[in-house]
Chains A and B, each alone.
Chain A
Amino acid sequence: MLSGGGGGSGGGGGGAGGGGGAGGGSGGGRSPKPSFVSYVTPEEINLTEKEISRKEKQPDLLQGEVIFCSASPIRKCTQDDFSQRGIFGSLFCTNFRISFISDETQLEEEEGQVFKNKLYGENDIPLTCVDNIYRGFDEKKKLITSGSVRNKYPSKIIIHCKDLRVFQFSLAFAKEEDAKKIFQGIVHHCLEPKSLKCIFAFSYSEKMTFSSENQTKLKTVMFDSMVDWAQEMKRTKGNCKLVSANADFNISTKYIWCWSHHSGCALFKTASLPLMQEDGCSQSYRTYMERYCTCVKTEELPETLPTIQDIQQSYNKFKQFFLVDNTTEFWMSDVKWFSSLENSGWLDIIRQCLTKAVEVVECLENENTNVLIMEEEGSDLCCVISSLVQVMLDPHFRTLEGFQSLVQKEWVAGGHHFLDRCNYLHKDKESPVFLLFLECVWQLLQQYAPAFQFSETYLTVLSDSVDVSVFSTFLFNSPHHRATTIQPVSLLAQKGPLNLPTVWDWSVQFNSAAQDFFTNPLYVEKSRQDKVPRKTFRPKHQRHQSLPSTAFKSSPKKSFFKDETDSLKKMLRVKRISRWLNPTDLTQSTTREFYEAWQRKPLDYHGLLLPCVDGPALRVWAQRYLRWLPEVQIFGGGAMTLEKKLVDLLAEVRELRGKLDWHCSVDFSHRGAAALAGSSVRLSSAFPFFVSRTWSFKPAIPSCLQKNLITGTFADKEDEDSECLGVI
């Protein structure tokens, strides 16, 4: 398959001979699909034909995938601090990806390769996944912008991917014209604005037929029909009348403003997110709302949260720390690691979002008011906050299917501008809003692991999938956009509407063994008794009332004890004095009280979850950001080993239980990372993603002074002692 780049330890150069004859043999190629709308110049197509003839070196094309151009020999550099190693091979640019095929004999499926993406391999970069391309010369690099290249081509290009991989290709060995073409082709297809129809998903889905069985098999509620909405209402016991009216409105008009509506955990709590585009409409909507709800609390998000541009800037700064071209650079950043992370502000944005969500939860849970989250377009931070609130409040959304439904409801049906935000078309509206949401969920997940059915691997994969331009989920700006885009195509092709795969059909990307990694082995399923439909909310509410700690507002013990609120406030005042001086932070203090009150209650993984947003509590999503860096991978260590132990234990428990046929109160999920069970392979801490293939022990001691060793303090050698080399 496409897993070429391995080989590793031997060091580069071996395969150089095989890469010769780049321009050889023409003719006989397939012509590109006529249906494909393309920017490709004729000469590039010619080149395609040439390359196709060399079948042995061709990537396995997906349906509807066409090679634009290619070049060889290209050297893929893997840089460590000592030497430039590299693998020779050919570089292809197709309408889906940039693909590097190694000349070296490809190692067959390795043991660790259970987690393999079916769509693209480890040496492939989907075009939409390319973040930045740099021209590399000497020790420096320079950003390439779409307009800037015409006749030149650099000897080395560095590609930064959105999933944080870094590739370095040396073009110096290829023929000049090939190199020029591939370079221009890559730059053209990766950086220049293009039309929606050019995105690979369309040519892909034309050729692929996704059986509708596949779709129905999925339990994810898609929220594209009225029934879905009605059921969701029923599930949450929302205000049915209001809902059906809204749902009807939503579906029938398919107007650009799309809003969704969810009800909180208690009966009379409702939060809505309207699009405040035209004042008249929103006003009428407002009055409409107020007729049904006794009171509405409005949260203006732009006032307190960062703007979309802030998010983008901050993330850009943040990710630079993980896009490592060479290890020395990484070690340089090491000294000021924490403060530079802090300066990027990304963690603080996450903190702000979580805090805001807690505020909203407080309104719903404590004050029982309806909350109206408002934002200019109602589809960016509104989505973040509303879905976060739901994840915190409703255990259903912490299951795999529930979470997928949530994304479908709040983001897809809610009209998040995925197309713009993911920057598929290079239109400068990029902002990682969805990623921000996933980050927030990850923070929750790592704080309350047993409450979530999905694992962090799932979140990481989901965040990667956003940049694979195959899934309908992330292709459109709104359901309306989706409907209008899909419709005409179907007329032309005289088929049914385009059947684009959704991201939730994980079998498109992963086989079932790999999908096991999506479930969290720590997840504590609800015990059977509790599973009676929707009972959980009610008891929680009662508990909520009866516990003395909620008695902040009206303490029954007030006569007996000095009101603990006072003292608590005092402590807060003293501790957080800087905050208290700021009048706008008044809400924050009540939120803190709310958090503290909640914290005193015994933790219920199937109830309300509030994140801790203190300085030390927010962490870097290590799996996502550090997975490609061999320097920070712990071999034979890390959380992975514990997880493996857990899986083993679970298997044992299950086996014993099977023997005993004994029903226990504690019931852990039995699936999850089954591939781990029983194996004694030494795993890396970045396990499912980065397999220990080309690694050295290097990581253990970062010392920039090691170069001194090489430059040779010892020139003279003596082999006398070499006989007693005993290596374990």
Chain B
Amino acid sequence: QCNILSLSLAHWECVLQRATLVRKKLSVRGGGGWRSGTLFCTHFRVAFVPKDSPKRDENTDLVFLEDHDVALASIEKVVAVGASRTKVVTANSTLKFAPEELLLYCKDFQVFCFLFDRLTPDTQVMEMTCAIARAYQPPRPGAVLAFQNSAMGSVEMKQFLSNRQRDTSMNWFEAAADWEAELERTGAVGWRVSGINERFEMAASLPRFNVVPQKVLDTELKNTFAHFSDGRIPRWCWRHPSGADLLRMASFQNDIYHERDDVRNLEALVFGGQRQCVIVELVEEMPTPADIHVARTRLRALCLGDVSLPVAVPDDKWLSTLEGTHWLDHVRCCLRKAAEVSRLLREGHLTVILQEADDRDLNCVVTSLVQVMCDPHCRTVTGFQGLVQKEWVMAGHRFLNRFNYHRDRDKEEAPVFLLFLDCVWQLWAQFPSQFQLTVDYLLALHDSVHLPLFSTFLANCELERSRHTKHLPQCYTPVNGWREGLLPPGPNSLLDPPLPPVWDWALQYSICKRACFIQPRPPAAPRPPVLNGNLNLSKVNRALGSVFLLSHGTFSCPPQLLPWRAGGGATPYRKSHRRAPSAEESPAPERLLRAWNLTDASAPTPHQDPWEPLLPLLLAPCVGLWKECYLRGALQAQPELTSCHLVEQLSQEVQRLKEALAPPSAPKAADSGGERRVQ
């Protein structure tokens, strides 16, 4: 009974099963070894309460999970290890032996290992195993809802959540003012925030507010949506301090008639304020979401060393197996694309448009990577959160389908966001002192993805997300039939628990864990960017700008690149696959080429310019495996004290010393002053 008391149960949480005298294998970071205590299984989590755990402080913030707990929803596989065999336990399987050991393989690469004692009754052990097996696996889409309800379905919890203040230090990109703040921060001129999609009438997957060129009026804008698949028009993302703009869009709708007025507006949209435009296609050379999914699955199998699988990878074949997963290749691919774009942006005075068929997967990866590389602000925790908010959440990455929380979209499942996190880690590993955020932060974000509790990840686009919350001013039902497919099917019961955003870290992590999210000695905040050169807007109207396609590492300008240009009497170009001979179409490529080669003498300054992009090295010896994440669960893992931790320790030491130094110094000064007076 007293054990139950030590588990700080929320009122609504009920214990399904309890087992005493259990030992848990501690993680490497937790110091290793075993700890004995009591194991609980509730509707929401598998909780482990160590014997001698200190009483929980009532005043601390509510934390969903405590240090030793694992949420049911993040469990991927339950393996029972008996005296002579191992068995994967599912909801339907019957257990014919009493396991001595229980292994919980989690989706986030953690492995929990519980050891039962001889004195624990066999029935208890078996029931516990079955209880977890039944509870963890959501057999139908509604199970996630049940999980959410058990986590925060109670009245108290709802109240608590609705009273929480949201983090105002980060940019949420929800209101028009947020976008304006971003325009101001980056120093972008010639752009405005358009509210034309405020009711999601124009494009259901786009956010309410989008940044478009100043000179395109909303009325003009309206007609351009149809020219892009899903209505995802070119939208401004970011401005490089050199004056180059980064845009993203979906593929063109080719079977549409281009009216003359439309063409003018489309041109303006594509070129922004610039005369040159480079379209970067993210179809070729890049992994498909399916590729990413396969690679991730293989990586899991390699890193977890699953005991239920018959053959483990021998040590001397480990590296080639790692190569065979192609995960690192995909990581390199994304980083390479982003580095290419960063280098283009560095040259300034052009727009770079990332184009992907639906603009909802790899575009998110590459745009945000470019910004992490180029913008020191995006390497801080708040900046990074804003970035994810801007390029993923608002831009309509299909989190819900890609993570397949409901297990009903197996074909669409692809951890694109996790690939992005790995890319960021690679950058972090190569330039550790350029980041304010830490690996702990990245890990926390990585793990949160597997917890279906956050509004951030539980929707495919802003429209869906706003339906969940009551922030939606009026529930607007679209009139046109074509949008109906976007409505979530079935009863809209998801409205029930108010889902918090993932950025409310206090819900998940205790204050000391959150302290580790920020490097103790962050790089100095950069000066605000100085705009380089003026925009000459009058020039733009004079003639058509030039547009290039960057693919396979070369620039080209295929005639049908902008469909409206190819259509208007330019048919000879299309027939002969020659390049356009006019000077109009191929001006000054040497500038782009130079941006490309970067052998210019101005580059190698010995002192770090904060706006210099972090160009990662992508040769195989430089790309590493994120061991802190993927090898956490490996049975033979070991702690590695890195310089990072030492920096942490030392800066704490500095802090301590400074604190110790501060109070005595004040009286001392007073003393010396007094002495002087006496003399």
A 704-728 binary contact with B (CB < 8 Å = 1; else 0): 0110110001101111111011111
Q: A13-21, A301-309, A631-639: which one contacts chain B?
A: A631-639
Nearest residue (CB) in A for B428 is: A637
Asked if A701 is at the interface (CB within 8 A of a chain B CB), the reply is yes
CB-defined contacts of A284 to chain B, threshold 8 Å? none
In the complex, the answer to whether A703 meets B336 with C-beta atoms within 8 Å is: yes
A650 at the interface (CB under 8 A from B): yes
Residue contact B311 to A577, C-beta cutoff 8 Å: yes
CA distance A691 to B35 in the complex (A): 50
Are the C-beta atoms of A699 and B617 separated by less than 8 Å? Answer: yes
Within the assembled complex, what's the spacing in Å between the Cα atoms of A461 and B319? 28
In Å, the complex CA distance between A660 and B607 comes to 34
Q: What residues on A are CB-neighbors of B64 within 8 Å?
A: none
B651 at the interface (CB under 8 A from A): yes
Chain A residues with CB under 8 Å of B81's CB are 567, 570-571, 574
**Judging by beta carbons under 8 Å apart, are B349 and A334 in contact?**
no
Q: Name the CB-closest residue of B to A571.
A: B307
A539 within 8 A of B: no
In the complex, per-residue mask of B602-622: 1 if CB is within 8 Å of any chain A CB, else 0: 111111110110111111111
A601 CA / B31 CA spacing, docked (Å): 8
**Which of these, B275, B554, B600, B615, contacts A708 with CB under 8 Å?**
B554
Specify which of B276, B586, B619 lies most central, judged by the most chain A CB atoms within 10 Å of its CB.
B619
> Nearest Cβ distance between residue B526 and chain A, in whole angstroms?
12
The interface residues of chain A lying within 8 Å CB-to-CB of B670 are: none
Q: Does A506 contact B (CB under 8 A)?
A: no
* Residues in chain A near residue B588, CB distance under 8 A: 717-722
Q: Are A706 and B553 closer than 8 Å at their CB atoms?
A: yes
Contact A697 B433 (CB under 8 A): no
| B191 at interface by CB-CB < 8 Å | no
- Contact status A649-B650, CB under 8 Å: yes
Nearest CB in chain A: distance from B311 CB, A: 7
- Residues from chain A with Cβ under 8 Å of B589 in the complex: 713-714, 717
Closest A residue to B552 using CB positions = A705
The stretch from B176-184, B506-514, B630-638 touching chain A is: B630-638
Give the nearest-CB partner of A680 in chain B.
B607
Q: A448 interface residue, CB < 8 Å from B? A: yes
In the assembled complex, the Cα of A622 lies from the Cα of B600 at a distance in Å of 28
In the complex, chain B residues 626-674 whose Cβ is within 8 Å of any chain A Cβ: 627, 631, 634-644, 646-647, 649-651, 653-654, 657-658, 660-661
In the complex, whether B515 has a CB less than 8 A from a CB of chain A is no
Tell me if B50 is interfacial: C-beta within 8 Å of chain A: no
A703→B641 contact, CB < 8 A:
no
B340 engages A701 (CB within 8 Å): yes
B654 touches A447 (CB 8 A): no
**Is A692 in the interface zone, CB < 8 Å from B?**
yes
- For the complex, is A118 an interface residue (Cβ under 8 Å from B)? no
CA–CA, A513 to B674, complex, Å? Answer: 45
A656 located at the interface, meaning its Cβ lies under 8 Å from any Cβ of chain B in the complex:
yes
Q: With A602-B31, A656-B657, A662-B657 given, is the CB distance from A111 to B606 under 8 Å? A: yes
Specify the chain B residue showing the minimal Cβ separation from A642. Answer: B643
- The answer to whether the Cβ of B119 comes within 8 Å of any Cβ in the partner chain is yes
Q: Would you call A217 an interface residue if the criterion is a C-beta within 8 Å of the partner chain's C-beta atoms?
A: no
Among B377-385, B490-498, B590-598, the stretch in contact with A: B590-598
| Binding stretch for chain A, among B110-118, B158-166, B217-225, B564-572 | B110-118
Which residues of chain A have C-beta atoms less than 8 A from B473's C-beta?
Answer: none
Q: Is B241 an interface residue (CB 8 A)?
A: yes
A579: chain B residues at CB < 8 Å are 314
Interface string of A556-579 (1 = CB under 8 A from B): 000011101011001100111111
A603 to B347, CA, bound (A): 51
Using a CB-CB cutoff of 8 Å, which residues 403-422 of chain B contact chain A?
none
Counting CB contacts under 8 A, is A681 at the interface? yes
Which of A180-188, A338-346, A366-374 faces chain B?
A: A338-346
Q: Please tell me if B556 contacts chain A, counting CB pairs below 8 Å.
A: yes
Q: Which listed residue, A562, A576, A701, A719, touches B618 by the CB 8 Å rule?
A: A701
Q: Quick one: which of B119-167 are within 8 Å of A by CB? A: 119
A726 to B534, CA, bound (A): 10
Of A195-203, A262-270, A613-621, the segment with at least 4 beta carbons within 8 Å of chain B is A613-621
CB-CB < 8 A to B603: which residues of A?
Answer: 697
Flag if A702 contacts B276 (CB, 8 Å): no
B52 within 8 A of A: no
* Cα distance, A682 to B434, chains bound together (Å): 12
Q: Are A574 and B86 in contact (CB under 8 A)?
A: yes
- Is B475 in contact with chain A by the CB < 8 A criterion? no
Question: Which of B339, B591, B654 contacts A721, CB < 8 Å?
Answer: B591
Is A698 engaged at the interface, CB distance under 8 Å to the other chain? yes
Within 8 A of B (CB), among A170-198: none
Cβ of B317 under 8 Å from chain A: yes
Chain B: number of interface residues, binned into ranges: 35 or more
Give the CA-CA distance A595 to B314 in the complex, in Å.
18
A82 to B598, CA, bound (A): 12
Task: Indicate which residue in A330, A599, A652, A726 contacts B533 across the interface (CB closer than 8 Å).
Answer: A726
B168 within 8 A of A: no
B23 at the interface (CB under 8 A from A): yes
Smallest CB-CB separation from B624: which chain A residue? A619
Q: How far is the CB of B623 from chain A (nearest CB, A)?
A: 9
Do residues B619 and A702 form an inter-chain contact, with CB atoms below 8 A?
yes
Which single residue of chain B is at the shortest CB-CB distance from A603?
B639
Within 8 Å of chain B (Cβ to Cβ): is A532? no
Q: Are A728 and B609 closer than 8 Å at their CB atoms?
A: yes
**What's the minimum C-beta distance from A463 to chain B, rounded to whole angstroms?**
18
Q: Is the CB of A652 within 8 A of B654?
A: yes
**Closest chain A residue to B598, Cβ basis:** A697
Are B322's CB and A720's CB within 8 A?
no
> In the bound complex, how far is the Cα of B319 from the Cα of A662, in angstroms?
49
CB-based contact A612/B636 at 8 Å = yes
Name the B residues within 8 Å of A549 (CB-CB). 33-34
- What residues of A have a CB within 8 angstroms of the CB of B430 in the complex? 634, 637-638, 685
User: Which residues from B are CB-within-8-Å of A510?
Assistant: none
B101 cross-chain contacts in A, Cβ below 8 A: 567, 570-571
Judging by beta carbons under 8 Å apart, are A614 and B598 in contact? no
User: What are the residues of chain B within 8 A of A348 when measuring CB–CB?
Assistant: 315-316
* With A656-B658, A697-B603: A728-B307 Cβ-Cβ less than 8 Å: no
Interface string of A575-608 (1 = CB under 8 A from B): 1111100000000000000011001111100000
Docked-complex contact B554 and A705, CB < 8 angstroms: yes
A435 at the interface (CB under 8 A from B): no
A341-B319, A614-B636, A696-B599 known; A600+B33 contact, CB < 8 A: yes
B24 within 8 A of partner (CB): no
B640 touches A447 (CB 8 A): yes
Q: Are A642 and B618 in contact (CB under 8 A)?
A: no
A616 to B313 Cα, complex, angstroms:
11
Chain B min CB distance to A564 (Å): 6
Task: A522 to B650: give the CA distance in the assembly, Å.
Answer: 11
Q: Which residue of B lies closest to A345 (CB)?
A: B316
Q: A567-B81, A600-B32, A642-B432 are in contact. Are A718 and B587 (CB under 8 A)?
A: yes
Decide yes or no: A342 and B310 within 8 Å by CB, A616-B625, A721-B587 being known contacts. no
Q: What are the residues of chain A within 8 A of B23 when measuring CB–CB?
A: 561, 564
Taking the closest CB of chain B, its distance from the CB of A372, in whole angstroms, is: 28
Contact (Cβ within 8 A) B432 A337: no
Tell me whether B487 is interfacial, beta carbon within 8 Å.
no
A336 at the interface (CB under 8 A from B): yes
List the A residue with the shortest CB-CB distance to B656. Answer: A664
Which of B318, B598, B660 is the one whose CB lies under 8 Å from A662? Answer: B660
Which 3 interchain pairs have the tightest Cβ spacing?
A615-B318, A337-B620, A697-B598
- Residue pairs across A and B with Cβ atoms less than 8 A apart, 21 shown, are A562-B118, A564-B23, A567-B101, A577-B311, A577-B312, A578-B312, A617-B638, A620-B621, A631-B619, A637-B433, A638-B430, A645-B647, A659-B661, A697-B597, A698-B599, A701-B343, A701-B618, A708-B554, A709-B593, A713-B555, A721-B276
Beyond the given A649-B654, A657-B657, could you list 5 further A-B residue pairs with CB under 8 A, ordered by the A residue number? Answer: A337-B621, A642-B433, A644-B433, A653-B650, A700-B618
